[in-house]
A and B are shown apart, each in its own frame.
Chain A
Amino acid sequence: MFKYLVGVCFTASILLMSCQTAKKDIPSANPTPVAIAAKPTSSTALKLKPTKELVLENGLKVYLFRDLSLPRFSINLLVKVGQRNDTLEKVGVNHLTASLLEQGSNQYSATQIADKIASLGSDLSIAPGDEYTLVSIDGLSMSVDAIVDLFSELVFKPTFQNEEITKLKKEFTAQLKKVQDDASQVADLGLNAFLHKGTPLAYPSIGTEASLKKIGKSDIIKNYLTNYRPNNSILSIVGNISEDVEKKILDRFKSWPARSLKPAVAAIKPPADNKKMESQFKKDLVQSEIRVAMPMIPRKHPDYLKLRLINEIFGGGFVSRLNSKIRDQLGLTYGISSSLDLGLDQGYMYVSTFTKNETTQQVIEQINAEVAKLIDEGVTAKELSSAKNMVLAQFPRALETVDRVAFNFMYLDFYGVGSNYLYDFQRSVDRLTLDEINLAIKTHFSLDKMKIFVLANPSVEKSLAAIR
């Protein structure tokens, strides 16, 4: 289908290959033969602001983005509950709760819900995460009544029937086994288990075989009644919504009863142990999957933008240090990158890569060396200038659709950052100095705090022992 639909590289269509994950960084013998002005490129001014921003009597925060140019709309609900709210004994409760929202309601069975969504030309997305759960639906404006009815039915009146709970638990149990066939996912889970030992985040978000057995219907209902509340949520209404429809949606959500909320869960801290590396071995692997994590800062920390630029230089782009050295100069991997994942209480910079069994040790040593070099030498003015240009120039893509803008508002609200981050983005990036960036590196990076997880063929075990 979709004769002209082609995927992009990392989400690649199965029919496509390659993608130039990165290239080479060999100093050129010749000066660039044309004058290339590398002055900062300007990012667009943010044009879209919420039409309305209000808090309902039941505590629901609402952002309305009216955009009459398109006969479409979406409703997005961010519920402030995630895997971090699960108990250790019953990890997976929230993933089950969220997934069950589309598996039966007062009026509809699971298959009726699936058929209704498809027939309306709508998309329902449920994404339970570490710290929040996002439930979204979209559709044609002319179908808004039916879709609003359906969405409120699913969110307000899930039935959590025993049969559906049992089905889903069996499916999750099967998925837990099957995930072992995906080396990349196994490595991600292994790193989580290492980093978050003793917390719910150490386990798969769908739970474990043991935890799934312990979770009962009452746990799911309790989680739903406790957390899926208006005073624990943020709503965005986006698109071509008339004032009448806006009133209808708001009236619906006004009827959603609030409840007193439980105290916030305790902050999740990185483990205090000094263990540097953990590994797991699996026969048949021809490549090792390598994951590295360095503790950083929470999302709302004022150094966020500094770290974003450091990440761009270190491992965020094709000319990043990691990619230039380990892929382009040494040919040791097809892809290596770093990324920031900053949450409510803590954050990490991750490095992710893979290499053939024989060069596993070498790649880990190279990553170590690049981190050490970053800490010792900092970044250069040229690198900073280039990183600023890239981050600023590509910033508008994050706001390309009104849905993306709305999501950004909810996300920033949740993390206590505020929407000024968007309006001030260019100015904030522009004014960061080299000294500030290099001070941030000294402040936040530490080789001692670095954690490494490796999934590898058993033949690699000996070489890993040498670097533990």
Chain B
Amino acid sequence: MTLLMSKNTSVFFFLITFLASTFMWAQTKTPARIQFSVVKYTLENGLTVILHVDNSLPLISYHTWYKVGSRDEYAGVTGAAHMLEHMMFKGSKRFPGNDYDRILHENGISNNAFTSYDYTGFYQSLPSSKLDLMMQLEVDRMSQLLLREEDLKTEREVVKEERRWRVDNNPTMALFELTMGTVFKASNYKNPVIGTMDDINNFNVNTLRKFHETFYVPNNAVLVIAGDIKIPEVKKLVEKYYGPLEKKDLPERNYKKEPAQTVQYNAKLKKDVKANSFNLVFQSVPQDHPDSYALDLICTILGSGSSSRLHKRLVYSKEMATGADCSHYNLMDQGILNIHVSLKPGLEIEDPLNVVYNEIYMLRNFPVKESELEKAKILAIKSHVDSLRTLDNKARLLASAEISTGNYETLFTDIEKIQNVTLAEIKTVAAKYLNQQQRSIVSLSPKK
């Protein structure tokens, strides 16, 4: 699974058109920028509000994200942020029981939520006439969540089923869980977002209530409203419903830093599978690190699509693998560059691993061709802006950029930073991060 590829291109061009109708990037390499109109402000209680007008559809995309994820958990309560996300649908003071879902459905509002290592997000797609209602519902569960023991009892079973489905019954995800646990020894990124089965079994409402009271506060949240809106009207509504919420002191977050890796880590997983696969992982950099753009491009050159080096060698020429992908995950405190290779049945990992080592050696020691770097930049930039193609994705990426960096505008400046990466940087950064001391090899093999 990779974050590198997407299919459509429209937003890229759309956004560029916004800035300069004379855009000729592919021909002249003039630095391109993406931009669309955004209004950002902060309420007195600390709630960050981001508004974007797009009247092309009579819909609004409504995102409420909290800066709390599995990195805020501690031993014995892994999965708490995720469990709380589930419990956010179990009723609040004004909307108890299943009112939240029932009312949304009756009003044509679709919704969902997710939890990650760094944050938790709730989102809806609503007819533009339903904004007032949506705010009432979201404010109530932000400030007056019920968290009843009887609801937790059932939802715990749901989350256990989710864990079985996502991880225990899914060899690829089990490999990823082991990978994170291998690469990270000190950081909470070592823990699965969904939690361990033991911890899921042991949650109680008091733990979750503490999480909610601590982190589900306006000064720990980002609200993004995008779509068929009028800014002055929305501002009034936000003030009316969110304004009275109380700002609360947030705990000091002393996340354990992962020490620099000095030796190679290895881990093996055996499952009832037909073929070997492996993750070759390098410790990387956090989201705001200047080297992250060169690492993005290195990852694209290595393993993004059928024109990438690893695909050409492992899948096409040597026919050793059914897939070879590279993903660069930038988390808020740390990153990983993960090369995942899925082998053909009957093949051992040694030879394919040597092919990957060889490609990394080439990157570390020889400059890539300018045309290859340009191709990677095109792919990277297009993929980046393609992800902004729909209203919901625009809202999602605004929320993510804001909550990750404190400045949504990084969403617009990334393209320039990708374009500015030089051939020399690719070589230097590859040499700096893709070395034996910083790597881990985590494999999945058939049980004998």
> Cβ of B103 and Cβ of A36 under 8 Å apart?
yes
A396-B58, A403-B8 in contact; A174/B105 too (CB < 8 A)? no
A70-B13, A123-B7 in contact; A8/B344 too (CB < 8 A)? no
Interface residue from B96, B117, B383 paired with A2 (Cβ < 8 Å): B383
Interface residue from A110, A287, A319, A335 paired with B98 (Cβ < 8 Å): A319
Q: Mark A100-129, 1 if CB is under 8 A from B, else 0.
A: 000000000011001101110111010000
Asked if A468 CB lies within 8 Å of chain B CBs, one says no
Asked if A52 CB lies within 8 Å of chain B CBs, one says no
> Cβ of A70 and Cβ of B112 under 8 Å apart?
no
> Cβ of B375 and Cβ of A119 under 8 Å apart?
yes
Asked if B102 CB lies within 8 Å of chain A CBs, one says yes
Asked if B31 CB lies within 8 Å of chain A CBs, one says no
**7 A–B pairs (Cβ distance < 8 Å), ordered by A:** A2-B296, A4-B411, A15-B117, A18-B162, A23-B89, A171-B322, A177-B275
Asked if B44 CB lies within 8 Å of chain A CBs, one says no
Which stretch in A214-222, A277-285, A368-376, A440-448 binds the other chain? A277-285
Least CB distance, A230 to chain B, in whole angstroms: 25
Asked if B97 CB lies within 8 Å of chain A CBs, one says yes
Residues of B within 8 A of A71 (CB): 13, 16-17, 23
Interface residue from A18, A317, A389, A392 paired with B113 (Cβ < 8 Å): A18
Residues of B within 8 A of A12 (CB): 114
Which stretch in B169-177, B202-210, B238-246, B252-260 binds the other chain? B169-177
Q: Mark A1-33, 1 if CB is under 8 A from B, else 0.
A: 111111111001111111111111111111011
A118-B378, A287-B164, A331-B157 in contact; A24/B7 too (CB < 8 A)? no
Residues of B within 8 A of A38 (CB): 106-107
Least CB distance, A188 to chain B, in whole angstroms: 15
By a beta-carbon cutoff of 8 Å, the part of chain B in contact with chain A is 1, 3-4, 7-10, 12-14, 16-17, 23-24, 26-27, 56-59, 70, 82, 85-86, 88-91, 94-117, 121, 125-127, 129-130, 133, 136, 151, 153-162, 164-166, 168-173, 176, 192-194, 271-275, 287, 292, 296, 299-300, 305-307, 311-312, 315-316, 319, 322, 327-331, 342, 344-345, 371, 374-375, 378-380, 382-384, 387, 389-391, 396-397, 400-401, 404-405, 410-411, 414, 447
By a beta-carbon cutoff of 8 Å, the part of chain A in contact with chain B is 1-9, 12-30, 32-34, 36-38, 41-44, 69-72, 110-111, 114-115, 117-119, 121-123, 125, 138-143, 167, 170-171, 174-175, 177-178, 180-183, 239, 282-287, 317-319, 324, 327-335, 354-356, 385-386, 389-394, 396-397, 400-403
Interface residue from A5, A21, A356, A394 paired with B387 (Cβ < 8 Å): A5
> Cβ of A24 and Cβ of B165 under 8 Å apart?
no
> Cβ of A115 and Cβ of B375 under 8 Å apart?
yes
> Cβ of B112 and Cβ of A9 under 8 Å apart?
yes
Residues of B within 8 A of A139 (CB): 9
A26-B97, A118-B375 in contact; A403/B10 too (CB < 8 A)? yes
Residues of A within 8 A of B104 (CB): 318
> Cβ of B319 and Cβ of A287 under 8 Å apart?
no
In Å, the complex CA distance between A362 and B96 comes to: 29
User: Chain B CB within 10 Å — which of A1, A20, A318, A319 has the most?
Assistant: A1
Beyond A3-B330, A28-B97, A318-B104, 9 additional contacts (C-beta under 8 Å) are A5-B3, A118-B305, A121-B9, A142-B26, A167-B319, A181-B271, A331-B157, A334-B158, A393-B108
> Cβ of A41 and Cβ of B127 under 8 Å apart?
yes
User: Chain A CB within 10 Å — which of B158, B328, B411 has the most?
Assistant: B158
> Cβ of B110 and Cβ of A28 under 8 Å apart?
no
Residues of B within 8 A of A110 (CB): 316
User: Who on chain B is nearest to A318 by CB?
Assistant: B101
Interface residue from B106, B172, B374, B390 paired with A389 (Cβ < 8 Å): B106
Residues of A within 8 A of B292 (CB): 3
Least CB distance, B91 to chain A, in whole angstroms: 8
Residues of B within 8 A of A141 (CB): 13
> Cβ of A114 and Cβ of B115 under 8 Å apart?
no
A17-B115, A23-B98, A41-B130 in contact; A170/B319 too (CB < 8 A)? yes
Residues of B within 8 A of A167 (CB): 316, 319
Least CB distance, A271 to chain B, in whole angstroms: 29
Interface residue from A3, A121, A285, A319 paired with B404 (Cβ < 8 Å): A3
Least CB distance, A408 to chain B, in whole angstroms: 15
Least CB distance, A12 to chain B, in whole angstroms: 7
> Cβ of A1 and Cβ of B371 under 8 Å apart?
no
Least CB distance, B315 to chain A, in whole angstroms: 8
Least CB distance, B411 to chain A, in whole angstroms: 6
Residues of B within 8 A of A122 (CB): 9
Interface residue from B24, B82, B153 paired with A142 (Cβ < 8 Å): B24
User: Who on chain A is nearest to B24 by CB?
Assistant: A142
